[in-house]
Amino acid sequence: MKNIYKITCLFLLSLFSIPLTAQQTPAPAQSQAISITGVTAHIGNGTVIENATLVFENGKITALANGATTKGKVINAQGKHVYPGFITINNTLGLGEIDAVRASMDVNEIGTITPNVRSLIAYNAESKLVESMRPNGVLIGQIVPRGGRITGTSSVVQFDAWNWEDAAVKVDDAIHMNWPDSFRRGRWWMGESRAYQPNKDYNDNIKEARDFFVEAIAYHKTTPKEKNLAFESVKGLFDGSKKFYVNASSEKEIIDAVTFAKELGIQKTVLVGGYHAYKITEFLKQNNIAVVVGRTQSTPNFEDDDYDLPYKAPKLLHDAGLLVSIDPGGRMERMNTRNLPFYAGQVVGQGMSKEEALQLITLNAAKILGIDADYGTLEVGKSATLFISEGDALDVRGNKLTQAFIDGREVSLQSHHTILYNRYSDKLNTD
């Protein structure tokens, strides 16, 4: 019995000795005015103000100018830079934690047409992945369900909250669709060649989606006795209160997708991916289509593409007069989202100015999401969602945040990664 007692005591003591690395408590509401002085302010709309003073109170920016009067707590940021919080579009942050642990994944839903699946109610505000975005300046994101043809309804959230209700910035902002591929690799398990070949089911796939929307339109022209949640969820596409995000890559697929939306009376369409969008920019301009282009730090999809096509794609679309942002999706998209500022920085090497590249993940992203009245730039009256960096935040060498604020609340910059960094830095210093 004595041995059992000793073992039990040792076990309990070991539990108390485990370091706690849980999610930080969300920051309380701003309680006093804060002034940031001597800082280089990158407004997010192409403007830079040197030696600026930025003042915010009650979560809103109240002054921003060279020589503005300070108020409340003063932060001396001489030699540093202040930016609006970066915004990620088309992401699954908070919907999945560990790919190998099924119980932690809520990214996909069963079914082909599930527009009524709402990402917001599945969003985990305490995700360690969400927490790890803040140290790189990514403070706001659009959370999107995956899977099927019509994947579901997204919402926009900020990345410091107790729960999904507190996190919500824009609820149920859009419906998302995966456009079918006109060409696809052969299904080797059915004895087909692995080479690309026409998708024989392409038209049938489109018809399935079209039939759903036609039925939804008919549904909304009647007074149904019972609600159809799928039809109810897409009503906003036809009155302009929701946007239609469609994932398409090739010229044919993009043209077909935009035409599809236009014929159905869908008012606001956003192209996601758009690998070959640069070939049909006039068509996209004529139809007022914004593009959320794939991440820049990737390789070309086809052997006859320019080797640097992914690097320069945002610039090609921007130069053509399109509204452009960057989608950090692809393999390991949730983890790679912390590299969003460096994806924008990649385009600087292709001839885009730093302030234009900054717009890709600030003002442009806010405009596409429809939250630009409050977010995306440092302007009087807008939300004080911003951060201070020691250097150029689009450069991995300069992106060193000292403080960050969401709606005026100073948020923690600690994450599992910073804890490990400090741990092993201490080890190196003592060796």
pLDDT tens, 43-67? 999 999 999 999 999 999 999 999 8
Q: What is the mean pLDDT of the chain?
A: 90
Is the predicted pLDDT of residue 16 greater than 50, yes or no?
Answer: no
Structure tokens at 219: 């549904």
Instruction: Please name the residues in contact with 424: beta carbons below 8 A apart, sequence gap of 6 or more.
Output: none
**Residue 4: its pLDDT value, please?**
55
Residue 220 and residue 236 in contact, taking contact as beta carbons nearer than 8 Å: no
Domains of the chain in sequence order: 23-85+376-431 (2.30.40.10), 86-375 (3.20.20.140)
**Residue 277: its pLDDT value, please?**
97
* Amino acid symbol at 173: D
Cα 112 to chain centroid, rounded: 24
Q: What is the pTM (predicted TM-score) of this model?
A: 0.90
pLDDT tens, 385-417? 999 999 999 999 999 999 999 999 999 998 888
pLDDT tens, 271-326? 999 999 999 999 999 999 999 999 899 889 888 899 999 999 999 999 999 999 99
CA-based radius of gyration for the chain: 24
**Residue 418: its pLDDT value, please?**
82
Instruction: Name the burial class of residue 91, with classes exposed (0-12), middle (13-18) and buried (19+) by CB atoms within 10 angstroms of its CB.
Output: buried
Cα–Cα distances in angstroms (integers) from residue 316 to residues 59, 200, 270, 280, 326, in the given order: 37, 32, 17, 11, 13
**Residue 257: its pLDDT value, please?**
97
Q: Find tokens 């210093």 and name the residue.
A: 429
Instruction: Name the burial class of residue 267, with classes exposed (0-12), middle (13-18) and buried (19+) by CB atoms within 10 angstroms of its CB.
Output: middle
Instruction: Name the burial class of residue 291, with classes exposed (0-12), middle (13-18) and buried (19+) by CB atoms within 10 angstroms of its CB.
Output: buried
